Amino acid sequence: MELYKLSCPRCGQHIEYTKDYCGKHVQCPSCSGNVTFPALPPGTAKQSLRLERDRPKVKQPFRFDPAQMLQSLVAFISTFKHWQIVAMCLLPFVVIAVGLAAASFVRNQDSRPKSNDATVTATQAAESQRIGALNQADVIVQDRVKSVWKSKNALDAAMRKRAALHQMYDGKQMSQGMRNAVDAQYKVVEEEVEAAQSNFNGWRRAFDTAYETYKKYGGAIDYQSQLPR
């Protein structure tokens, strides 16, 4: 019986076989890979058997062709045979959409002001505007009261500082150099008192202006009584 040889395509192991194994598959005794014997014994075919790997398919680049897409869409519509089923599936959604549209229309109609409804009069609009202005003026007056108190505290602190300085040095015998230094301190503290007094007077005037505006809009709270005496 004639023997033929074939190399394993995976590991190169030589395998002997007879004519009866032509065209059959066996496992390589070395690597257990799949080995397929030629359908014809070697030498009987004009061409030798060879294995080729599958070549990857080359993807064609996408091209936007409106005419071709329209043609494909028309062909699909003309050949589609289940439009009746699609219509039955879409019918409930159409009914719901119509119902929602009708409900929205009715709600908009009901929300429109009717001729018999009471309308906002010019007096009511003016009153609403007055209340808004009064609330704003009230906030400003309260802020001015706080500012007056803050400036008054600063003035009192400056006056206490001046009094303490005079109490410390008035009537005492001092050298000329010491007297010059004390006079310089007197000058600084006097300037602080004048600045604090000016700031206090300015905030009082700002309060008076804001309070007059507050009363003009109908304010009834006596904020003047909350000012420092």
In this model, does residue 132 exceed pLDDT 80?
Answer: yes
Q: Contacts from 171-179 at CB under 8 Å and sequence distance 24+?
A: none
Q: Is residue 82 part of a domain?
A: no
* Best CA proximity match to 36, nearest among 6, 11, 12, 13: 6
Q: What's the structural domain count of the chain?
A: 2
Q: How far apart are CA 49 and CA 64, in angstroms?
A: 44
Identity of the residue numbered 50: R
Q: Is residue 71 part of a domain?
A: no
Please write the tens of the pLDDT for every residue from 66-117. 777 777 777 777 776 666 777 778 778 878 888 888 888 877 776 665 544 4
pTM of this structure: 0.46
Pick the more confident residue, 229 or 202: 202
Q: Is residue 217 part of a domain?
A: yes
Domain of residue 216 covers 126-221
Classify 56 in phi/psi space as left (phi over 0), alpha (psi -120 to 50) or beta. beta
Please write the tens of the pLDDT for every residue from 193-212. 999 999 999 999 999 999 99
Cβ neighbours around 214 below 10 Å, total: 24
What does DSSP assign to residue 39? S
Q: Is residue 148 part of a domain?
A: yes
